[in-house]
Amino acid sequence: MGENSPEIKSTWAVVQDHTRHFSDFTFVYPVISRRSKGLSIGVNLNPDKVCNFDCIYCEVDRRTPGAVTEVDLSQMKDELTAMVRFARDGGLAKEPKFDEVPWLTREVRDIAFSGDGEPTMIHNFAECVEAVADVKQAESLETTKIVLITDAAGLDKADVKRGLEVMDHNNGEIWGKLDAGTEEYFKLVNRTNVKFERILNNLLETSKERPIIIQSLFFKVHGEAMSEAELEAYCSRLSNITEGGGQIDEVHLYTVARPTPETYATKLEPVELEQMAEVIRERTNLVVAVYP
């Protein structure tokens, strides 16, 4: 299980329910995350639910329109400050579901750009990162990470690159998505007009500048897990990044945890996920953490 904290269980309601809505907050929401090893405060830069991927496993409900279409930076900062203080003062520990795990609610492990779409699609990503960095500094959150959870399609945009540089100076970490080894499988599971080559190149170029985490969601399509050939191709993609000068700190391997829009996208069993992880470790010599 890698460095997973044993006390964070996937069966807890607070871990299973990663809703992007909390109380009367518009842009900020708390979750207990196994991959963050505790409390992660999400910042939703896509309340309009706009995304450049249409993954067959995505749990975002796009049938219901988003609440707002623009990110109000001032409101986002106020909400983030309020949420940080609410957590540290013990208020979050008394909320439904969070009261199951009060010992995990006071320390903010990370502030994560993750929401109802792709964070890098926003026109002022760098400004949003600066706003979060300001709150982090004002609230003395020295050890708290700023995490970008991204499909990697927008990592080559100038404004995004500026935002990544701000993250670099504020304990930033990039979690870049890679769910496939071939263009064909990429199109099948991520359903996007973005070229697979662009994703791969963005992961390489970004990881030349700083270490990144690769996050991969593996699952069954119509009852079939990823083929051995596809997994081999996936391993080759990872090796291409590291051999090209890219730095991969870790691979996060996980599976479907919540209801999917396509019922034929179903979860892998823990043993299946671990077997795939072992193949990746052998082929790439990378650290692979499994989150079944």
In this structure, is residue 5 part of a structural domain?
no
The one-digit pLDDT tens for each residue of the chain (292 residues) are 334 444 666 654 555 544 445 568 899 999 998 888 999 999 999 988 889 998 998 888 767 766 677 899 999 999 999 999 999 999 999 998 899 999 999 999 999 998 788 999 999 999 999 999 999 999 999 999 999 999 999 999 999 999 999 999 999 999 999 999 999 999 999 999 999 999 999 999 999 999 999 999 999 999 999 999 999 999 999 999 999 999 999 999 999 987 888 999 999 999 999 999 999 999 999 999 999 8
In this structure, is residue 230 part of a structural domain?
yes
38-43 and 28-33: which strand pairing?
Answer: antiparallel
In this structure, is residue 4 part of a structural domain?
no
In this structure, is residue 7 part of a structural domain?
no
Write out the residue range of the structural domain in which residue 261 sits. Answer: 13-291
In this structure, is residue 1 part of a structural domain?
no
- Residue 149's CATH number: 3.20.20.70
Q: How many domains are contained in the chain?
A: 1
- Global confidence as pTM: 0.91
In this structure, is residue 200 part of a structural domain?
yes
In this structure, is residue 94 part of a structural domain?
yes
In this structure, is residue 2 part of a structural domain?
no
Spatial separation of the C-alpha atoms in residues 42 and 39, rounded to whole Å: 10
Q: What pLDDT sits at residue 61?
A: 73
Q: What pLDDT sits at residue 10?
A: 60
